[in-house]
């Protein structure tokens, strides 16, 4: 079931889903990203998500996705540093669902209680290409948060 803007209905949103989200970027253009739903706030229309990014820019705390979990060829790493709220209604279609193994690894990575070095990114935080990429992703994240907070305040 969909809303009039093409987004999936809120009832179908589940933790572990990788979904699309559309937003207006800082240049005023329509943009989109893939996000992982990490928490559902039951008393709110907000959900917590993490951005899904590229392995080529994945840092040492990011979790690489298995082939069947990837929503696209270029979206293959959970960016653990980029966790933020969005409106459920702004989430698009489900592209994949992470496995229980990936969910457990993500939990361990976030709590620094265990790592699987075969499934983490390689880039050092000080790498200038990662810094540029991260800055761009932060701008996208800020745009999505602004939309959620603006609509929440209406």
Burial 67-90 (b: 16+ CB within 10 A, else e): eebbbeeebbbbbbebbbbbbbbb
Q: Does the residue 113 lie in any domain?
A: yes
The stretches in the chain having pLDDT less than 50 are: 1-11
Q: How many domains does the chain have?
A: 1
* Confidence at residue 99, expressed as pLDDT on a 0 to 100 scale: 95
* Confidence at residue 7, expressed as pLDDT on a 0 to 100 scale: 44
Q: Does the residue 110 lie in any domain?
A: yes
Q: What is the CATH classification number for the domain harbouring 92?
A: 2.30.30.110
pLDDT digit string, tens, across residues 92-127:
999 999 999 999 888 887 776 666 666 677 656 667
* Confidence at residue 6, expressed as pLDDT on a 0 to 100 scale: 46
Contact 120, 58 (CB under 8 A): yes
Q: Does the residue 130 lie in any domain?
A: yes
Domain that holds residue 15: 10-153
């Amino acid at each position: 079931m969909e809303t009039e803007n093409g987004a999936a209905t809120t009832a179908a949103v589940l933790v572990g889903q990788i979904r699309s989200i559309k937003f207006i970027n800082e240049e005023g253009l329509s943009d989109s990203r893939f996000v992982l739903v990490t928490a559902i706030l039951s008393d709110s229309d907000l959900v917590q998500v993490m951005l899904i990014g590229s392995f080529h820019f994945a840092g040492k705390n990011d979790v690489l996705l298995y082939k069947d979990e990837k929503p696209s060829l270029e979206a293959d790493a959970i960016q653990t540093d980029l966790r933020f709220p969005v409106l459920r209604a702004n989430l698009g279609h489900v592209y994949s669902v992470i496995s229980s193994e990936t969910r457990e690894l993500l939990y361990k990575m976030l709590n620094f209680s265990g790592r699987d070095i075969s499934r983490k990114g390689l880039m050092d935080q000080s790498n200038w290409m990662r810094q540029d990429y991260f800055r761009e992703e932060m701008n996208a994240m800020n745009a999505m948060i602004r939309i959620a907070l603006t609509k929440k305040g209406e």
